[in-house]
Amino acid sequence: MTDFPQPSSSNPANQYDRSEGTTSLNEMQRTLTWHGAFWVAAGVPPLVLFSIGGIAGTAGKVAFLVWTVSICMGFLQSFTYAEMAGMFGNKSGGTSVYGATAWMRYSKIIAPLSVWCNWFAWSPVLSLGCTIAAGYILNGLFPIPDATSPLVLDWIANHANSIAATDPRVTDWLAANPGKAASDAIQTLLASDGVAALTPAIRTWEAFHIPIPYLGTLYFNSTFVVGVVIMLTMYTIQKRGIGAAAGVQKVLAVIVLVPLLLAGLVPIITGSINWSYVTNIVPPAAAGSALDGAWNVGGWTLVLGGMYVAAWSTYGFETAVCYTRELKNPKTDTFKGIFYSGLLCMLFFILIPFAFQGVYGHEGLLAPGIADGSGIGEAMGRMISSNSVVVHLFVLLMILALAMSIMTAGAGSSRTLYQGSRDGWLPKYLGKVNKNGAPVGAMRQDLVFNTFLLALASDAGGYYLVLAIANVGYLLFNFLNLNAGWIHRIDSPHLDRPWKAPTWLLALNTLLAFVNALFLGAGAKVWGYSQALWAGLIFAALVIPIFAYRHWVTDKGRFPREAMEDLGLDPDGDLEPGRAGMLPYLTLLAGLIVVLFANWFFVLPG
């Protein structure tokens, strides 16, 4: 797989001529090898930390299989993306850009839709990562006491008479917990009051909040403030260019990925895996339930909901081809970057969820700190050692792991916006770069957008709301892009392909596009927000007026010369009609039918 044929000298597009020339200060700089792209993409494995708890709560004992199947799908799909990436050595922005060009001949709207969906799926990694990292930092500096800690027990002893059996709170508690005694209610309420009284004020501080109808609430609290500081730090690093960002990522990867790998290996080596936790595989009775369910429609809905969110993490190594325009040798390095990144992710996304579930079991993974992500670092540390120093060190490493993910997402999503601007799909200001070749116009857009999302995600409910809506865009992009592979084969056989996927694999990945459509229809509503699918589709549609203004008002109905050249077309001519006839339109119709049917057929357990 590492033998790459050389481009044909008869290539009419001559698509690498500009890529191998010099670059000016207003363009991205070719400073990256495939190793650099690999290290930037090394921020993808820590994405397992974002939703490992949520998927465990949703899919139950099936969770580790969800991760395994999902990363295997992502690896297969990456071969279609690798072929398309090699076709466009002048482009940045990743596989959504390369695939979007296939749809240009059939609908001008579909191309920017693919790019837009990829961006608003990847970009929220910044806000979600900062939310979890802020939680780790606040937990480390200002911990909330446990109900069984000596401080809380002393407080309870000193306030034992503060709650009477006739207190309305006791009455309400007994009504919600039939069969319990008043003494049970008093003890529980005292523990709750003790935790609240001893919780540092910064953990409950909130400047204000703003309800957003039909969406959620923006919270401007301590999590938001710490998250903004982290986000600005990442922005400052990335302004120095992709070479500097790759250097930082390489250092972080060595520091972080080795301990993360140990968290997966040590329990297996030491025999800490409880095999009963990873056998008798059935879905839970309901989302968040510790009871076993059945393989009925409700159970499958929960599993498909897990597959829906897992895809957001496991497919993410396709970001390795976001930097084609910055590679010194895009003819060979695009494939190498995505292939070896995929192997790295296969290791982590199979091993870590298996070990995590094998150690803690389904019930253990339902703990609040696991579900909201704030306790995952400590839990993984305890998989290696019970020593408190090791555990605290591991929590620190998880903060660095989240920083890696934020860097990866920021680099990839900003370049998607940049190339969308250069190709005439998105506003021109997004195509601005600084002297280091960093797309600062797009980076600022990411910063503003994620400051809003950070406020929305600063509580657990908002966190999964953002994740569920963002993933609507990601699976839409994957559907369009996997089908772009065969469209390019039909319409652009003249474009050189330094690496060409086997035809059978291209066909299999086309089938997987419809499997992703199934995940989208069935899974979006599983995450506590029944309208997530429709909210995501509405956000996706926002690109239509944005593109319309850029294309028909700013560019007078014509695409930029470089966009036409990259397709091997006359830069001053018009788009040629597609050779695939009605097939792309029938594909879109079939995908829509699959989404709507899945959304109707699959329902949560009653």
Which pLDDT value is given to residue 404? 82
Which pLDDT value is given to residue 242? 65
Distance, in Å, from the CA atom of 315 to the CA atom of 312, rounded to the nearest integer, reads 6
Q: 274-313, pLDDT tens digit by residue?
A: 999 999 899 999 998 889 999 999 999 999 999 999 999 9
Q: What is the mean pLDDT of the chain?
A: 86
Q: What mean pLDDT comes out for the span 424-430? A: 92
Residue 90: both structure tokens together: 């002048």
466, pLDDT greater than 80: yes
Q: How confident is the model at residue 244 (pLDDT cuts 50, 70, 90)?
A: low
Q: How confident is the model at residue 322 (pLDDT cuts 50, 70, 90)?
A: confident
Q: 68-98, pLDDT tens digit by residue?
A: 999 999 999 999 998 988 888 777 767 888 8
Which pLDDT value is given to residue 25? 45
Question: What residues pair up with 216 in beta bridges, in sequence order?
Answer: 212
Q: One-letter amino acid identity for 529?
A: Y
Which pLDDT value is given to residue 229? 94
DSSP character at residue 552: I
With tokens 């993306």, the residue in question is 81
Residue of 444, 538, 488 whose CA lies nearest to 117? 538
Distance, in Å, from the CA atom of 404 to the CA atom of 257, rounded to the nearest integer, reads 10
Residue of 233, 265, 326 whose CA lies nearest to 40? 326
Which pLDDT value is given to residue 14? 38
Q: HSE (CB half, 13 Å, CA atoms) of 104?
A: 29
16, pLDDT greater than 50: no
Q: How far is CA 295 from CA 58, 59, 309, 310, in A?
A: 14, 11, 20, 20
Which pLDDT value is given to residue 18? 42
Cβ atoms 43, 259 nearer than 8 A: no
Cβ atoms 407, 43 nearer than 8 A: yes
Q: What mean pLDDT comes out for the span 590-601? A: 97
Which pLDDT value is given to residue 389? 86
261, pLDDT greater than 60: yes
12, pLDDT greater than 70: no
Distance, in Å, from the CA atom of 389 to the CA atom of 369, rounded to the nearest integer, reads 19
Q: 324-346, pLDDT tens digit by residue?
A: 677 778 777 888 888 999 999 99
Q: 37-54, pLDDT tens digit by residue?
A: 787 778 888 888 888 988
Helix residue ranges, H only, 284-386: 297-314, 330-364, 368-371, 376-384
Higher pLDDT, 390 or 324: 390
30, pLDDT greater than 90: no
| Residue 183 Cα to chain centre, angstroms | 46
Q: How confident is the model at residue 501 (pLDDT cuts 50, 70, 90)?
A: very high
Ramachandran area for residue 437 (φ above 0: left; ψ -120 to 50: alpha; else beta): left
Residue 53: both structure tokens together: 């708890």
Q: Report the percent of the chain where pLDDT is more than 70.
A: 93
Higher pLDDT, 501 or 569: 501
Strand, helix or coil at 207? strand
Measured at the alpha carbon of residue 223, what is the angle toward residues 219 and 229, in degrees to the nearest 5? 115
Question: What residues pair up with 221 in beta bridges, in sequence order?
Answer: 206
Q: One-letter amino acid identity for 18?
A: R
Q: How many other CB atoms are there within 10 angstroms of residue 183's CB atom?
A: 10
Residue spans of the domains in the chain: they are 38-144+199-601
Residue of 1, 438, 75 whose CA lies nearest to 242? 438
Which pLDDT value is given to residue 570? 76
Q: What mean pLDDT comes out for the span 583-606? A: 96
What is the separation, in whole angstroms, between the first and last Cα of the chain?
A: 49
Q: What mean pLDDT comes out for the span 521-528? A: 92
Distance, in Å, from the CA atom of 579 to the CA atom of 606, rounded to the nearest integer, reads 48
551, pLDDT greater than 50: yes
Q: Report the percent of the chain where pLDDT is more than 90.
A: 49
With tokens 């990335």, the residue in question is 238
Least confident of 61-75, 136-150, 232-246: 232-246
The CATH architecture of the domain made up of 38-144+199-601 is: Up-down Bundle (1.20)
Q: 399-423, pLDDT tens digit by residue?
A: 888 888 888 788 788 888 988 898 8
Which pLDDT value is given to residue 146? 85
Cβ atoms 500, 580 nearer than 8 A: no
467, pLDDT greater than 80: yes
Contacts of 156 (CB under 8 A, 6+ apart): 187, 190, 191, 194
21-30, 128-137, 405-414: which has the highest mean pLDDT? 128-137
Measured at the alpha carbon of residue 188, what is the angle toward residues 186 and 193, in degrees to the nearest 5? 90
Radius of gyration of the chain from Cα atoms?
Answer: 25
Residue of 32, 31, 561, 54 whose CA lies nearest to 356? 54
Which pLDDT value is given to residue 26? 54
Which pLDDT value is given to residue 28? 62
Distance, in Å, from the CA atom of 176 to the CA atom of 174, rounded to the nearest integer, reads 5
